[in-house]
């Protein structure tokens, strides 16, 4: 590995920052202490900070040797999850029901490490915007920052993001051009029937049986409506109805999620869901109300920035440790909003298999959104070195006049 020695020397400081953030998790749009901590560090290193984008979001303005040169953005997410931590080591969460179970504490620490180095080595001809984003975990904080003028106030050529990924070995990275993560969409279907005594079902219209028929019908969208080569998930995750054994209820409610890699497939699924739910309910004399909410779009890496990032990664850790065509995941990420607005790329950095966790960790696996998870501090100098190398290599590219 070609890690930067000054960043390696910062490993202890970065670990302290990361563990402090881990011990003080804050949920979507509540990242006040986190934002204060990050802003204080950046300003202490001579980096001006603009706050208040997307509520608690902030942007550090890092100017190189030519402040009128081109600019790029580097993004880290700040929020934690509403999850009870099972770990009992010294830096475990101090706030019951809140936990950094997705590694955003580590993402912030890696970007801060790069910021500290670049603040002392401003020999790049342009500007770097350090984007610390709130509310990635379902709050759409990336879009909120864009709506508050992220790209109009801070014009940039491209934007880049990084996420730790358990299961990928430490020292390895993964990336792919095109779709890398899926869209995330929620639905609720309410079937309005007619209640009756369960011993006299002919006097009512049973919404439970209609819900069963609709549930079966929805799966035909994936097997009979979309092309077999198009990827999609339609999962019904809850069905609620009734209060006791001898009453046919008036209503039944179904909720779930839909994931796709393209908006065209998503349009098809939403249209057919409405047709099947409403048509099936009507056939049984009932009515179905469909609420389909599009949350996060697909995360689609742009080809040229992805090719560039792949080269940066290969020069950092070696080609054999970079999976340049990783299988996309059906998980979602709101960095997708930024990639809809600007060219850029999103990469995975390996978090290992969990063996790094200290004594006192939970008995569960070290996977994302799990109460036994912990970010691997061995990644801190590696991730920070990647950010710095990305910056220096980006500005070293020839540009047309």
Structure tokens at 64: 């190189």
pLDDT of residue 41: 98
pLDDT at 401 over 60: no
Give this prediction's pTM: 0.95
| Of 177, 201, 390, 164, nearest in space to 285 by CA | 201
pLDDT tens digits, 140-183? 999 999 999 999 999 999 999 999 999 999 999 999 999 999 99
Place of tokens 């369960």: 198
State yes or no: pLDDT of 400 exceeds 70.
no
**pLDDT tens digit sequence for 194-234:** 999 999 999 999 999 999 999 999 999 999 999 999 999 99
The rounded distance, in Å, linking the Cα atoms of 392 and 222 is 45
- DSSP-derived letter for residue 320 is G
Give the contacts of 115 (CB within 8 A, at least 6 positions apart): 41, 42, 45, 47, 60, 62, 130
Whether the per-residue pLDDT at 335 is higher than 70: the answer is: yes
Domains of the chain: 5-180+298-396 (3.40.630.10), 184-296 (3.30.70.360)
Q: How confident is the model at residue 83 (pLDDT cuts 50, 70, 90)?
A: very high
Question: Would you state the structure tokens that stand for residue 254, as one six-digit string?
Answer: 């179904």
pLDDT at 393 exceeding the cut of 60? yes
State the pLDDT confidence band at 399, using cuts at 50, 70 and 90.
confident
172 touches 163 (CB < 8 A): no
């Amino acid at each position: 590995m070609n890690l930067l020695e000054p960043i390696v020397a910062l490993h202890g400081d970065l670990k302290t920052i990361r563990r402090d953030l881990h011990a003080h998790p804050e949920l979507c749009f509540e990242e006040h202490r986190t934002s204060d901590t990050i802003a204080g560090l950046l300003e202490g290193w001579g980096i001006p900070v603009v706050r208040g984008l997307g509520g608690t979001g902030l942007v550090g303005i890092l100017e190189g040797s030519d402040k009128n040169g081109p600019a790029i953005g580097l993004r880290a997410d700040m929020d934690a999850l509403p999850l009870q931590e099972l770990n009992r080591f010294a830096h475990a969460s101090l706030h019951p029901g809140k936990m950094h179970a997705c590694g955003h504490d580590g993402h912030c620490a890696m970007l801060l490490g790069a910021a500290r180095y670049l603040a002392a080595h401003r020999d790049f001809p342009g500007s770097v915007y350090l984007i610390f984003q709130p509310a990635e975990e379902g709050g759409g904080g990336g879009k909120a920052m864009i709506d508050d003028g992220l790209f109009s106030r801070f014009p940039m050529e491209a934007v880049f993001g990084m996420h730790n990924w358990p299961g990928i070995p430490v020292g390895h990275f993964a990336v792919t051009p095109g779709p890398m993560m899926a869209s995330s969409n929620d639905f609720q279907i309410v079937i309005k029937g007619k209640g009756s005594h369960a011993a006299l079902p002919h006097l009512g219209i049973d919404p439970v049986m209609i819900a069963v028929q609709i549930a079966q019908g929805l799966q035909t969208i994936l097997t009979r409506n979309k092309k077999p080569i198009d990827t999609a998930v339609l999962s019904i995750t809850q069905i609620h109805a009734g209060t006791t054994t001898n009453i046919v209820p008036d209503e039944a409610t179904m909720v779930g999620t839909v994931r796709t890699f393209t908006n065209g497939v998503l349009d098809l699924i939403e249209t057919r869901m409405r047709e099947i739910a409403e048509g099936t309910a009507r056939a049984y004399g009932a009515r179905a109300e469909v609420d389909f909410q599009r949350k996060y779009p697909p995360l689609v890496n742009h080809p040229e920035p992805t090719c560039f990032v792949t080269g940066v990664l290969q020069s950092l850790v070696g080609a054999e440790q970079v999976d340049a065509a990783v299988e996309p995941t059906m998980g979602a990420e709101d960095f997708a909003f930024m990639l809809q607005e600007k060219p850029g790329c999103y990469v995975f950095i390996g978090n290992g298999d969990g063996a790094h966790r200290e004594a006192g960790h939970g008995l569960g696996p070290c996977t994302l959104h799990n109460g036994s998870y912990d970010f691997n501090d061995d990644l801190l100098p590696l991730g920070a070195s990647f950010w710095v190398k990305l910056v220096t290599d980006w500005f070293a590219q020839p540009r047309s006049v």
